[in-house]
Structure 1
Amino acid sequence: MNDSFFFKITPTLRSRSVPVTFLRRFSYKDIKNATDGFSRVIGTSSHGASYKAKFQNGRFAVVKEIHLVDQQDDDSFYREVQLLGRLHHRHIVALNGFSVGRKRFLVFENVENGSLKEHLNDPLKTPLDWRIRQKIAVGVAAALEYLHFFCDPPVYHVSISSSTIMLDENYNAKLSDVGLLGSGSDHITARRTSSYNERTGQVYGNIMYELGLLILELITGQSSDKTGTDLSQWIEESCFPTSIHNMIDPDLGNDYDSREVKGLLAVARFCIKSADEPNSFTPQIYRYLQKKVSILLS
């Protein structure tokens, strides 16, 4: 297949002030044909529907429609395309192109194994083993380190959940909801009892809270969408160490290292407790998880 179909350099596209370069620009007709008339819906969000797409060269992709409030948001869309086009990390779903005109779309790489949520909740799928679950936690942490410490400016608009984490053919985690016009962690804010405003430190705290819940979901197999509050309360209780064995996902059987489970639970607890004091967070959490994965893969 010709990869240049997705990575064709296009002429600079400008709104009033923001250039967009080095991304494929698709026509509305391209998108309509690839999604079979917008019939291949795979999900919806506040920004619009997401579609499975197959282009003429046989290459698959995921197309996300972006709804704008009004035309005054044009610059926001172009800035978003420019931002996402500059992100290059093995644990972040890559933006391959965009479309403007009658409607606005972002075209992302296709990730073969679907979402983490499917693998944790679909009884027809082979359960994820302990090694893969650890690798997923490390991959997410590595992506966050890149977004927070190696991007200029730092990217804080990111949603972390089993629904937004995709798995490639080797079960490497890829964040799929990054910077989408400020989507960020607003749904977590609504679930939590703390009153958060829009300051960066507090958004950062929400991200840490989400990371903690994700680790708990990997260990317990329980959906954080439904039991997030219960999971966070459990790990903050003084008696939680005595109930760890009962909380481990039955799909794991006895195929896990109890010391490693306790180590990840300590990380999850730290993330959840740090959510209320986000300025106390340091990159050490990433280093700890990355060290664990290097041992696993050696």
Structure 2
Amino acid sequence: MKRIILFLATNLAVVLVLTIVLNLLGVGRAVGPNNMTALLVFSVVVGFTGSIISLLMSKLMAKWSTGARVITQPANSTELWLVNTVQSLANRAGIGMPEVAVYDGEPNAFATGAFKNSALVAVSTGLLSGMNHEEIEAVLGHEISHVANGDMVTLTLIQGVVNTFVVFLSRVVGFFVDQVLLRNNDSERRGPGIGYMISVFVCEIVFGIVASMIVAWFSRWREFRADAGSARLLNSTLPMQHALARLGQMQGDGLPQSMQAFGISGGGSGWGALFASHPPLEERIAALQQLRG
């Protein structure tokens, strides 16, 4: 499960911190199955807060975790070509010019940001040195397509919805466990006890893992769509096919573990495939070949 990403990690951390704080303040324990409306509102607030904060922090955290340097003034012909290519692709996709950045690392690239017209597109030095211009342009088209498709916002909404269910169901289970313990102890205690708090904490982790599978499924689906978007921007599927094949030969993703779902390549096998942010490169190439047909 090495494809656990910055977005999910930040989101889960915020949800757990909010849960602990609200429980300490007594807010979390004041809502329950006896007041479903209050419990649902509470779940929505907690569930969407984590994903929205993750979205708003995405550019800053991406730059920090990769050491990406934003090109404000091209220092050489490669950087000039890179900026001009991103500008051309952004114009074709109908979005504002993203920030363009370069970071040291093995071949990869990523795009992130809360808004279509102020996104970030970054490529590694390994990708710039290991691919030809046509292949790099295809990768950039893939990343621009992510931005144009609004994938980060959609990911945020999906994460917010599944978070809401995680928070809601965790508390329902917590209250049920607490009531069972209360009856078994024949106690007159009022309000949730330690059984509730432990159950909620455990359930949020367990249900959160299931929620991560749902988000990972969407992440894999959006990769196919971004590949197709690159093909549309370049009027051919071949450059993206060649770029994916070259990535397979390079055998390196070059991103920190927390950022891997934002990159161009990835995948998993066995149980790890359920949490993989990217489909295998072979499947993506096959999908492009079918699209070409």
Query: TM-score, normalized by length of structure 1?
Result: 0.28
Name the one with the larger helix percent: 2
Answer 1 or 2: higher relative contact order, Cα 8 Å, separation at least 6.
2
Query: TM-score, normalized by length of structure 2?
Result: 0.28
